[in-house]
C-alpha cells in the first residue's frame, strides 16, 4: 500500500499544493513563503521520515496567519487520506525532545477524534518573520483535519527558536512512531474495530 496523498487547495487567501508520503526518507521541498516556517516543516519531515513537497502562495501582505493555518489544513487532509484504513499501525506516538535548554513533549493518537491540547508557555512574539502565536494555529488545523488527538507541551526553556524547533522535531518523531507498522497488529488497532 502506497501511503501518500496530494492536495490542492485554493481560496481567496492562499493557494497550496502539496504531496505527502508517510513512508519516506525525510526529503522535503518546502516553500511556504515564510522562512522560519519552512525551517520548521523541514525539521518535522526530516525527523518524521516523511517526504513532503509543499508550495504555498498566500496573502503574506496581510500576515502569515492564513498561510500557516491553511498549510495545517492541507497537511492534515493529506495525512488523513494517506493513512487510509489505519490497519496495522502503532496508532500512538510519544516523544520528548530536547533542544539545548528547551524540552518539548508531544504525544498523539491517530484516533479519528480531532483534539488539540497545547501549552507552549511564554514565547517571544516573533521569530524572524514568524508570529509565534501561529504554532498553535498550525497544530490545531493539522490535528483537526488529520483526525488525530494531539497534545503538545513545552516543559521548560528560554529561547523561543529552540522551543518551537523542539515542538516540530518532537511532532515528527511522534508521527513516525504512530504511523509505523506493528507486525503484531493485523487489523485496526482499536477494540471498536474502527478509528
Can you give the binding site for Mn ion, defined by CB under 5 A?
Answer: 165
CB of 97 to Mn ion, least distance (A): 13
CB of 40 to Mn ion, least distance (A): 8
Our CB check for Mn ion shows the closer of 38 and 69 to be 38
Our CB check for Mn ion shows the closer of 40 and 106 to be 40
Q: What is the 3-state secondary structure (H, E, C) of 26-45?
A: CCEEEECCCHHHHHHHHHHH
CB of 161 to Mn ion, least distance (A): 6
Sign of CA dihedral 92, 30, 70, 62: positive
Query: Which position's Cβ is nearest Mn ion?
Result: 165
Our CB check for Mn ion shows the closer of 137 and 165 to be 165
CB of 54 to Mn ion, least distance (A): 18
Our CB check for Mn ion shows the closer of 145 and 163 to be 163
Amino acid at each position: 500500500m502506497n501511503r501518500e496523498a496530494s492536495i490542492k487547495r485554493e481560496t481567496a487567501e492562499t493557494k497550496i499544493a502539496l504531496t505527502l508520503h508517510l513512508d519516506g526518507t525525510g526529503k522535503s521541498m518546502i516553500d511556504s513563503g515564510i522562512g522560519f516556517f519552512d525551517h520548521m516543516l523541514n525539521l518535522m519531515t526530516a525527523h518524521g521520515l516523511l517526504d513532503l513537497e509543499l508550495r504555498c502562495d498566500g496573502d503574506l501582505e496581510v500576515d502569515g496567519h492564513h498561510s500557516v493555518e491553511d498549510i495545517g489544513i492541507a497537511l492534515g487532509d493529506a495525512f488523513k487520506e494517506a493513512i487510509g484504513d489505519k490497519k496495522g499501525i502503532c496508532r500512538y506516538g510519544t516523544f520528548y525532545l530536547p533542544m539545548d535548554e528547551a524540552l518539548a513533549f508531544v504525544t498523539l493518537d491517530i484516533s479519528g477524534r480531532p483534539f488539540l491540547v497545547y501549552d507552549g508557555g511564554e514565547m517571544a512574539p516573533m521569530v524572524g518573520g514568524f508570529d509565534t502565536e501561529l504554532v498553535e494555529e498550525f497544530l490545531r488545523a493539522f490535528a483537526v483535519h488529520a483526525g488525530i488527538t494531539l497534545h503538545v507541551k513545552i516543559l521548560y526553556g528560554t529561547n523561543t527558536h529552540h522551543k518551537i524547533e523542539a515542538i516540530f522535531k518532537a511532532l515528527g518523531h511522534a508521527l513516525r512512531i504512530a504511523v509505523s507498522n506493528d507486525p503484531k497488529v493485523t487489523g485496526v488497532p482499536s477494540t471498536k474495530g474502527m478509528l
